[in-house]
């Protein structure tokens, strides 16, 4: 029997695995770009993108509470708003730079978005357990860039951050 190099390839899911994770990094970087756009306008540096099953970004947004005075305009909410009315929520993935709060988690559950990829959950633990308990696939990337952005913001605007997550001053 001659050697067939194809049979020597490792895990058949290897390439799928690698492209899946490369995609995570690419999509998270798009969410970070949103977060940085907010930061550049003195806003809270949290951004999000919604991605369809083909890997295309169908909506993007960032926290606008400081910029517009809208208390509901968290990053994920702005992203959902910008994505408009949709019929494909159940095939979408939300990428967000920070673990979603209870309001954003509620919106994700309402529209039955099945996957959430989170930049980091150290600054704020969010409601990841609630998402998981409702069958949502949650992936936390623990991205240093997201942690640093929040650290920089909270260091200079602790009051604005507390207001964002409902902590009375
Ligand atoms: Zn939120």
Report the pLDDT averaged over residues 6-29.
68
Q: How many domains does the chain have?
A: 1
- Give a yes or no: residue 119 inside a domain: yes
Taking Cα atoms as reference points, which of 118, 116, 97, 119 lies closest to residue 108? 116
Q: Select from 124, 118, 133 the least CA-distant residue to 154.
A: 124
DSSP state of 55: S
pLDDT tens-digit readout, 93-128: 999 999 999 999 999 999 999 999 999 999 999 999
Instruction: Look up 34 and say whether it is catalytic.
Output: no
CA of 162 to the centre of ligand 1 (A): 12
CA–CA dist 73, 101 (Å, integer): 12
Quote the pTM value: 0.87
Confidence of residue 168 (pLDDT cuts 50, 70, 90): confident
- In the prediction, which pLDDT does 169 show? 73
Which residue in the list 34, 76, 120, 127 is annotated as catalytic? 76
Q: Which two tokens stand for residue 165?
A: 């997550």
Percent of the chain residues past pLDDT 90, beyond the cut: 82
Averaged pLDDT score across all residues of the chain = 91
DSSP class of residue 13 equals T
- Would you place residue 14 in the very low, low, confident or very high pLDDT band (cuts 50, 70, 90)? low
Q: How far is the CA of 43 from the centre of ligand 1 (A)?
A: 14
Query: How confident is residue 1, by pLDDT bands cut at 50, 70 and 90?
Result: very low
In a domain, 87, yes or no: yes
Dihedral sign for Cα atoms in the order 19, 22, 24, 30:
negative
Q: What confidence score (pLDDT) does residue 12 get? A: 56
**Structure tokens given for 160:** 């604005």
What is the CB neighbour count within 10 angstroms for residue 64?
20
In three-state secondary structure terms, 47 is strand
State in Å: Cα 127 to ligand 1 middle.
Answer: 10
Instruction: For residue 52, report the distance from its CA to the centre of ligand 1, in Å.
Output: 21
Q: Does the pLDDT of residue 17 top 80, yes or no?
A: no
Q: 50-96: per-residue pLDDT in tens?
A: 999 999 999 999 999 999 999 999 999 999 999 999 999 999 999 99
User: Is 71 contained in some domain?
Assistant: yes
CA of 17 to the centre of ligand 1 (A): 30
Residue 50 sits in a domain whose CATH number is: 3.40.140.10
Determine the structural domain holding residue 24 and report its residue range.
15-165
1 in a domain, yes or no?
no
């Amino acid at each position: 029997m001659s050697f067939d190099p194809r049979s020597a390839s490792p895990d058949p899911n290897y390439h799928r695995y690698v492209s899946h994770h490369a995609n995570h990094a690419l999509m998270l970087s798009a969410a970070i770009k949103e977060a940085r756009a907010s930061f550049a306008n003195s806003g809270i540096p949290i951004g999000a993108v919604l991605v369809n099953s083909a890997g295309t970004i169908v909506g993007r947004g960032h926290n606008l509470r400081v910029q517009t005075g809208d208390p509901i305009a968290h990053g994920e909410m702005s992203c959902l708003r910008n994505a408009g009315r949709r019929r494909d929520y159940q095939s979408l993935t939300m990428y967000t730079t920070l673990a979603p709060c209870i309001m954003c988690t509620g919106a994700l559950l309402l529209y039955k978005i099945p996957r959430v990829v989170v930049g980091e959950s150290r600054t704020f633990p969010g409601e990841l357990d609630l998402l998981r308990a409702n069958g949502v696939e949650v992936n936390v990337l623990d991205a240093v860039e997201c942690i640093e952005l929040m650290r920089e913001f909270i260091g200079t605007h602790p009051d604005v951050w507390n207001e964002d997550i409902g902590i009375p001053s």
